[in-house]
Structure 1
């Protein structure tokens, strides 16, 4: 096995629907993947796949990812506040749907998240998220591959 060169990939792994896809794309680029969760993930024997189990406290996984990622790394998360913290550190950040969080888009993503949270709390809308589709998975694969290529070039 060669030593990995390039960005690290961190996955906010609790309830992440694209863990297998991340591993497949990372293998093609010879990049290390770190799954961060509160537990319940099956460990891998692959030395390029790491698992970090954090305490079950609120934001423990988010805090670990922010503390251990660096500019140029890649983070996969659907958690908008975590994405905002990563974008601030110049970390490439993608949602499992393939939507990139960038300095240009993160403000609107945070505002929409806050608005939807307010509407749920006031009973104006229900707290259901749309289902994860094959189209989302395909968009994610394309976006992740493109993001990895960009990150590796730097």
Structure 2
């Protein structure tokens, strides 16, 4: 199963296309405002309004063999801990090795933004190269998830 933190996800169409090719189900999870897909393999899950409701829903269900697509680092950490394979929309994999560092960087940047209210700008924009990296990474993790676990 692929779980997508769908509210601000720029690669929903790509997830749907690759998942359909691999015969994998998708759950697009959001607080609302996304158009349901006509694809029977894609389920739109609308969670109640409130902070982190979509994150909670995904984290409670994602586990070993599942793939989670999110840019939310705390959600990624919870899913990695549960055994899921996690990809950011730019194709970066979050794993046991790097999710702690990503959390620390996120917290540091949050503190820096809070300390300087005049700080302008945010992250980089989403590019065609990011989309391409994501497609390659999703293909890889779906093949990895489909492999039987070593005994």
Normalising by the residue count of structure 1, what TM-score does the alignment of the two structures yield? 0.92
- 1:32 is matched with 25
Following superposition, the deviation at residue 133 of structure 1 comes to: 0.3
Find the aligned partners of 2:106 and 2:121 in 1 and give their Cα distance. Answer: 12
Q: What is the distance in 2 between the residues matched to 1:99 and 1:45?
A: 28
User: Which residue of structure 1 lines up, in the alignment, with residue 57 of structure 2?
Assistant: 64
Gaps of 5+ in 2: none
Kept in 2, the 8 Å contact 1:120–1:127? The answer is no
How many angstroms does 1:127 deviate by? 5.1
Distance 2:133 2:120 in 1: 26
Distance in 2 (CA, whole Å) between partners of 1:116 and 1:75 is 24
User: How far apart, in 2, do the equivalents of 1:62 and 1:122 lie?
Assistant: 27
SS at match of 1:43: coil
Please point out which of 83, 87, 95 is paired with 1:94.
87
Distance 2:121 2:78 in 1: 24
Determine the structure 1 residue equivalent to 2:101: 108
Aligned pair count reads 147
In structure 1, the partner of 2:66 is 73
Q: Post-superposition shift, 1:43?
A: 1.1
| Structure 1, unpaired ranges of 5+ | 1-7
Normalising by the residue count of structure 2, what TM-score does the alignment of the two structures yield?
0.94
Structure 2 CA distance for partners of 1:127 and 1:114, relative to 1, 3 Å: farther
C-alpha distance in 2 between matches for 1:85 and 1:94: 13
Inter-partner Cα distance in structure 2 for 1:126 and 1:19: 28
Mapped pair 1:153 → 2:136:
no
Q: Secondary structure at the match of 1:52?
A: strand
Q: CA deviation at 1:69?
A: 1.4
CA RMSD across the alignment: 1.1
Q: Following TM superposition, where does structure 1 have runs of at least 4 consecutive aligned residues deviating by more than 3 angstroms?
A: 124-127
Q: Render the CA deviation track for 1:20-66: whole Å, top value 9, x for unaligned.
A: 00011101100001000000111122220000001110010000001
